[in-house]
Amino acid sequence: MSSGLASPISGVDLLGLFAHFLMLSLLAIGGAITTAPDMHRYVVGEHHWLTDAQFSASVAIAQAAPGPNVLFVAVIGWNVAGPLGALATMTGTLVPSTALTLAAARWGARRRETRGIRAFTTGLTPLTIGLLVATGWLLAQPYVIDGAHRLGAIAVVAVTVLVMLRTRLSPMWLVGLGAACGIFGWV
């Protein structure tokens, strides 16, 4: 991972990083985490700025830290290009989505009881769930592929899915379970 002290990418690449996260911000239905697969494609697959493990660690570190879930975007940017990378990814992510959210919230609040608005909000649920499943798979893949941790990783994923489908238990308990499994070397 980058030390964060100097930008290892050019100004043009930094602008491209900003523009890509700006575009993803407008596609982030269900939060920035739902666009993690395309972030991965861009910074790992296309530009090779991070490895699979660095990307997964960036998301995991930010998700474990207190604060908003969107912090993983800053960690990815930091690991790509230090402070300028963090600024590029966070600005690209926050500016358009914030402006669009404010405008849409005001417009939707005035029309919340119309059939179209109710259908729109109802229709976003399966889309959001699908995007979250894709993100979960992307983050679990390095551990499922690793032969030493395969069974533990699959067990944690299976338990998480079952508990979330069958109970109203807070997901934070499952995050704690995953952390405990990692501490003991089971995944």
- Show Cβ contacts of residue 35 under 8 Å, excluding neighbours closer than 6 positions: 24, 25, 27, 28, 131
Confidence at residue 125, expressed as pLDDT on a 0 to 100 scale? 81
Confidence at residue 83, expressed as pLDDT on a 0 to 100 scale? 95
Is the pLDDT assigned to residue 3 strictly greater than 50?
no
Is the pLDDT assigned to residue 30 strictly greater than 80?
no
> Is this model's pTM higher than 0.85 or not?
no
DSSP calls for 127-173: HHHHHHHHHHHHHHHHHHHSTTTHHHHHHHHHHHHHHHHH----HHH
Is the pLDDT assigned to residue 2 strictly greater than 80?
no
Of 118, 126, 181, which Cα lies nearest the Cα of 152? 181
Which of 23-32, 42-51, 176-185 is predicted most confidently? 42-51
For residues 180 and 6, the model is more confident at: 180
Confidence at residue 4, expressed as pLDDT on a 0 to 100 scale? 43
> pLDDT tens for residues 95-139?
998 898 899 889 988 998 899 988 988 888 888 888 888 888 888
For residues 28 and 76, the model is more confident at: 76
Helix/strand/coil for 43: helix
- The two tokens of residue 167 are 């109970």
Confidence at residue 165, expressed as pLDDT on a 0 to 100 scale? 87
For residues 141 and 44, the model is more confident at: 44
